[in-house]
Structure 1
Amino acid sequence: MADFLIVVITAYLSYRFKNFYRIFVQTIKNRAGRQIPWFEIQAHYTRLTKLVALVDDLISPLIFTVFLSHLLLNCKQIYDVIQKQRTAHLFQTTECVLIHSGDAITVFYLSFSLAVLLLRSLMVSLMTAHLHTISREPLNALHTVSSSAYNNDMQKFMDQVYNSKVCLTGLKFFYVTRGTVLSMISTILTYELVLLQIND
């Protein structure tokens, strides 16, 4: 339920930033050769960043709990799968197959639940990290603006987009960005490799 709530909230915030980007690009195209209202554009972007900060204050404990539980559950599930695979030995004789078939079913169940858990963790992480990515998209459009439209207001807006950390956090301990997602994946993989070396 918490995963679903985070995904829905992030999808809404991402939609707001996509809508802003669409309006921003349209304004640049329509105002070609004329004065672009940088102050209004910056004010709109500032309202969106404040909305993200407000939402983050409300749900950052939930994000921290969900990400921590995903990390621990994934590591625990990987450990269980490796341990069960070591103990599940199917022999050729019928009696042994019947005796150890419970282990094979357990390994299959653990592997399947691990795959579901990893997919769920990946979905929540990528959706949440996408908010940070989409909040920086105006930088791409700013590079297409003609030099005649360049002024101090445009520079202020560019600096704001570049320097703003528009993303959700886990109690301000970490920012949910693509880098965070890669760090989580590398932590899980490192844990798995260490387990495999210990078991060997």
Structure 2
Amino acid sequence: MDLFVIVLSIAMSERYKQLNMLLKSVEGRAMPISFWKKVRETYNELSRLTKTLDDLISPIVLLSFANNLYFICLQLLNSLKPMNSIWHAIYFVYSFSYLVLRMTAVSLYAAAIYEQSKATKSVLFSVPSDNYCIEVSRMILQIASDELLLTGCRFFSVTRTLILTVAGTIVTYEIVLVQFNAVNADIKRNRTLVCM
């Protein structure tokens, strides 16, 4: 599931990257209106493709993030139990690192679609004033107003800031677990003292 999202995200972001490389190659040069019209139409096609892709795979994206978050939280819960051997500790570190790496990879590759779709703006803003036309203006307006990214059934948008949000959620969960574990340890200790 994660690999499916990553592969589709790479394919989509590479298409935007190709368009950005074409625009970088003509940056600052005078180009005819027909060129800008073709570029805008290509961007429109990529925009429609991105929205269709999001409509089709947004349940998979939601399931992927929920699955990864669940298993990370489960690993954190299991980390509070005493580890009996060095092999148990090595397994925990390996499996937790693998889960975090997997979730980070899905987030970064899916966020690359958004990053690449917005990278075109810098080139369009540098179009010479004597070459500025209605096609460039329409494309700037479209890039500024469209949110071309993957979502999890419209519950969340996959951007780079999502990684920080998820990390904050995981840290909060771990703090709550540690506090809850400390309270349980105090209660058990007090019961033991009362019995003695």
Equivalent residue for 1:142, pick from 124, 131, 143: 124
What is the aligned partner in structure 1 of residue 18 from structure 2? 19
Matches within 5 A, 1:2-151: 2-28=1-27, 32-36=29-33, 37-81=35-79, 83-84=80-81, 87-88=82-83, 100-101=84-85, 104-151=86-133
TM-score for the superposition, normalised by structure 2: 0.85
Deviation track 1:148-176 (CA, whole Å, cap 9, x = no partner) reads 22233322110101111111111122111
Deviation at 1:70, TM superposition (A): 0.8
CA distance in 1, matches of 2:8, 2:174: 32
Deviation at 1:34, TM superposition (A): 4.4
Unaligned runs of 5+ in 2: 183-196
Deviation at 1:198, TM superposition (A): 2.8
What is the aligned partner in structure 1 of residue 172 from structure 2? 190
Q: How much is the aligned-residue C-alpha RMSD, in angstroms?
A: 1.7
Whether the 8 Å contact between 1:132 and 1:166 is mirrored in structure 2 is: yes
CA distance in 2, matches of 1:13, 1:108: 37
Whether the 8 Å contact between 2:58 and 2:150 is mirrored in structure 1 is: yes
Deviation at 1:136, TM superposition (A): 0.5
Deviation at 1:46, TM superposition (A): 0.5
The alignment covers a number of residue pairs equal to: 181
* C-alpha spacing 1:13/1:34, structure 2 compared with 1 (3 Å): closer
CA distance in 2, matches of 1:25, 1:38: 13
Unaligned runs of 5+ in 1: 89-99
Whether the 8 Å contact between 1:77 and 1:114 is mirrored in structure 2 is: yes
Whether the 8 Å contact between 1:129 and 1:181 is mirrored in structure 2 is: no
CA distance in 2, matches of 1:185, 1:158: 33
Q: Which residue identity lines up with residue 61 of structure 1 in the other structure?
A: P
CA distance in 1, matches of 2:141, 2:164: 26
CA distance in 2, matches of 1:8, 1:172: 21
Secondary structure at the counterpart of residue 127 of structure 2: coil
CA distance in 2, matches of 1:143, 1:169: 28
What is the aligned partner in structure 2 of residue 93 from structure 1? none
TM-score for the superposition, normalised by structure 1: 0.83
Question: Any runs of at least 4 consecutive aligned residues in structure 1 with deviations exceeding 4 A, and if so which?
Answer: none
Deviation track 1:97-132 (CA, whole Å, cap 9, x = no partner) reads xxx43xx43233122211111111111111111110
